[in-house]
Chain A
Amino acid sequence: MTNLKPTSEPSVADSAELLAETSTETGRRPRAGWRMLLPTMTPWLAIGLGLIIAITLFGLIGPYFVGDPRAIRDMGLTGPSAEFWLGTTQTGQDVLAQLAYATRGSLQIGVIVGLLATALSAFFGIYGAYRGRIVDEAFSLFTNVFLVIPGLPLVIVISGFVPAESRGLWTIAIVLAITSWAGSARVLRAQTLSVRNRDYVAASQVSGERPWRVIVVEILPNLLPVIASQFVFAVIAAILGEAGLSFIGLGASNSSTLGTMLFYAQNGFALSLGAWWWFIPPGLIIALFGTGLSLVNFSIDEIINPKLKNLRLHRKRARRAARLERELAQATRRNGGVPTQTAKESAR
Chain B
Amino acid sequence: MTAADRRTEPVLTLDDLTVVYETEQPVTAVKHANLTLHRGEILGLAGESGCGKTTLAYAINRLHRPPARIASGRITFHGDDGDIDILALEDRELRAFRWERLSMVFQGAMNALNPVTTVRAQLKDTLLAHRPRMSRKEIRERSEDVLKRVGVDPRRLGSYPHELSGGMRQRVMIAMAMLLEPQIMIMDEPTTALDVVVQRDILREIVRLRDELDFAVVFITHDLPLLLEISDRIAVMLEGEIVELETADRLYRDAQHPYTRKLLGSFPSLSGERGAFIRTGIDETTDILAEERA
Chain A residues packing against B (C-beta within 8 Å): 1-12, 15, 18-19, 22, 314, 317-322, 324-325, 328-329, 332-333, 337-339, 343-344, 347-348
Given contacts A3-B193, A5-B49, A337-B74, 4 further A-B contacts (CB under 8 A): A10-B58, A15-B27, A321-B22, A332-B88
Please state if B71 and A8 are interface contacts (CB–CB under 8 Å).
no
For B176-187 the 0/1 string (1 means CB < 8 A from A) is: 000000000000
Please state if B53 and A8 are interface contacts (CB–CB under 8 Å).
yes
Out of A10, A318, A320, A337, which one reaches B54, CB within 8 Å?
Answer: A10
Q: How far is the CA of A114 from the CA of B21 in the complex (A)?
A: 44
Please state if A9 and B21 are interface contacts (CB–CB under 8 Å).
no
Please state if B72 and A339 are interface contacts (CB–CB under 8 Å).
yes
Please state if B50 and A11 are interface contacts (CB–CB under 8 Å).
no
Residues of A within 8 A of B29 (CB): 10
Say whether, besides A2-B193, A4-B193, A7-B54, A317 and B22 are in contact (CB < 8 Å): yes
Please state if A328 and B23 are interface contacts (CB–CB under 8 Å).
no
**Which chain B residues in 161-220 approach chain A with CB under 8 Å?**
188-189, 192-196, 199
Q: How far is the CA of A2 from the CA of B199 in the complex (A)?
A: 11
Say whether, besides A18-B23, A22-B25, A325 and B70 are in contact (CB < 8 Å): yes
Chain A interface: which of B60-68, B125-133, B274-282, B283-291? Answer: B60-68
Say whether, besides A15-B23, A329-B88, A3 and B67 are in contact (CB < 8 Å): no
Out of B22, B66, B71, B106, which one reaches A328, CB within 8 Å?
Answer: B71
How many of chain B's residues touch chain A, expressed as a range? 35 or more
Please state if A8 and B55 are interface contacts (CB–CB under 8 Å).
yes
**In terms of DSSP, what is the predominant structure of the interface of chain A?**
helix
Distance of B172 from chain A, by nearest CB (Å):
19
Please state if B195 and A2 are interface contacts (CB–CB under 8 Å).
yes
For this complex, 16 residue pairs linking A to B, each with C-beta atoms less than 8 Å apart, are A2-B193, A7-B50, A9-B107, A10-B65, A19-B23, A22-B23, A317-B67, A320-B22, A321-B20, A321-B21, A325-B70, A328-B87, A332-B88, A337-B74, A337-B76, A339-B72
Q: How far is the CA of A344 from the CA of B222 in the complex (A)?
A: 32
Most buried by B among A8, A317, A318: A8
Distance of B192 from chain A, by nearest CB (Å):
5
Please state if A318 and B87 are interface contacts (CB–CB under 8 Å).
no
